[in-house]
Amino acid sequence: MMEKKSKGIKKIAVVGAGTMGSGIAQLCAQAGFETVLFDVLKEAVMKGSKLIRYNLSIGVEKQKISEEEKEKILSRIKISHDFNDLKADVIIEAIIENLELKSELFTKLAAINKDDSIFCTNTSSIPITKIAENISHPQRVVGMHFFNPAHLMKLVEIVSGKFTSKENAQTIYKLAIKLGKEPVMVNDAPGFIVNRIGKLFHTEPLKILEEKIASVETIDSLLIASGFKMGPFRLIDLIGVDANLNVTKSLYELFNFNSKFKPSNLQQQMVDDGLLGKKTGKGFYQY
Ligand SMILES: NC(=O)c1ccc[n+]([C@@H]2O[C@H](COP(=O)([O-])OP(=O)(O)OC[C@H]3O[C@@H](n4cnc5c(N)ncnc54)[C@H](O)[C@@H]3O)[C@@H](O)[C@H]2O)c1
């Protein structure tokens, strides 16, 4: 298989127009790439596209870009509900955190794309090797783990699984730099680096809350006072209470049900009640 060089990247497709996908598509268009933003739900693509427009308007207000540049960036993004639009040089997957769904998606993408197209996954916790193992040309599967909000946070973990070729990891590393990011190369493991360490920043505060030791506000303000930029509950609301729970469940399983990653019953209850955080207007806080 020919490896794709970063110079050969013209078109990028982003699959999943939720919290992460819309920010990632914005970055790609800002960097000058022809971009497709796709979702299975029509309302999700509409919401994603609105969010990009809103983020860019803030950029205009802050005089970081001109109105003309904003329109140019928007003109590079094709909002799509048609799977056939996902033929691209690089595809960045940002669908829900579920191994079966991600594998199924990449199998379908492999059927319509060239062998040298690169498949990136924004998974937070699932090993890249597991996602790649049943995909044709698995050397093209690379972890490209952005942080929330994707259009602002600098860090991107570039994750190489057992099959990932060095060339493809390098190409995606260079792409991340073109997107204005500060990437780091990481070897494959559940949760990679940041989420493996950071998960305890969520699971322990949830235990403290469930044990009625302190309130949401107290725990958040205490951690801010001790030097963190944001408290854990405000952060879970920003990530999405459901998205955050999915990552905990995934790590719990991948670390052989180690109790330090045990999902919280309270968080499950909130997801069942539709309290998903900022994106639904209510989570640990009201928005
Ligand atoms: N939220 C975060 O802070 C964050 C940070 C880093 C990485 N991630 C990871 O990014 C991925 C997406 O997370 P999110 O928070 O953006 O989720 P989200 O729930 O906000 O959005 C997911 C979107 O994917 C769509 N979708 C689901 N199945 C699909 C399919 N088969 N094809 C196309 N679209 C599909 C859904 O309709 C939804 O719009 C997950 O793997 C998550 O772990 C999330």
In tens, the pLDDT along 33-66 reads 999 999 999 999 999 999 999 999 999 999 999 9
Q: Identify the pLDDT of residue 3.
A: 66
Domain boundary among 187, 222, 245: 187
Predicted confidence band at 2 (pLDDT cuts at 50, 70, 90)?
low
In ligand 1, which atom is closest to the CA atom of 41? 37
CA of 240 to the centre of ligand 1 (A): 10
Task: Compute the C-alpha angle 98/101/102, nearest 5°.
Answer: 80
For residues 112-130, give the mean pLDDT. 96
Together in a domain, 239 and 259: yes
Domain boundary among 164, 187, 210: 187
For residues 150-176, give the mean pLDDT. 97
Q: Is residue 193 part of a domain?
A: no
Together in a domain, 112 and 64: yes
- Residues annotated as catalytic are 124, 145, 157, 195
Together in a domain, 181 and 66: yes
- Bridge partners of 14, per DSSP, are 37, 92
pTM: 0.93
Percent of the chain past pLDDT 90, that is, above it, reads 97
CA distances from 210 to 149, 221, 264, 265 (A): 28, 17, 8, 9
137: domain CATH number? Answer: 3.40.50.720
233: domain CATH number? Answer: 1.10.1040.50
Q: Look at residue 106 and tell me whether its pLDDT is greater than 70.
A: yes
What is the number of domains present in the chain? 2
Predicted confidence band at 238 (pLDDT cuts at 50, 70, 90)?
very high
Predicted confidence band at 1 (pLDDT cuts at 50, 70, 90)?
low
CA distances from 230 to 101, 148, 247 (A): 31, 13, 19
Q: Look at residue 5 and tell me whether its pLDDT is greater than 80.
A: no
Provide the pairing of β-strand 155-160 with 141-146. Answer: antiparallel
CA of 156 to the centre of ligand 1 (A): 16
Predicted confidence band at 275 (pLDDT cuts at 50, 70, 90)?
very high
Other Cβ atoms within 10 Å of 218 Cβ, number: 13
**Mean pLDDT across the chain:** 96
Q: Is residue 130 part of a domain?
A: yes
Q: Look at residue 8 and tell me whether its pLDDT is greater than 70.
A: yes
Of residues 34, 4, 253, 24, the one with CA closest to residue 125: 253
In ligand 1, which atom is closest to the CA atom of 97? 41
Cβ–Cβ < 8 Å for 247, 97:
yes
In ligand 1, which atom is closest to the CA atom of 238? 3
In tens, the pLDDT along 203-236 reads 999 999 999 999 999 999 999 999 999 999 999 9
Q: Any long-range contacts for 107-112 (C-beta under 8 Å, 24+ apart)? A: 107/134, 107/135, 108/83, 109/15, 110/135, 110/136, 110/137, 112/83, 112/84, 112/86, 112/87
Together in a domain, 89 and 114: yes
Q: Look at residue 270 and tell me whether its pLDDT is greater than 70.
A: yes
Residue range of the domain that includes 157: 6-187
What is the rounded CA–CA span in Å between residue 97 and residue 227?
30
CA of 123 to the centre of ligand 1 (A): 9
In tens, the pLDDT along 126-143 reads 999 999 999 999 999 999
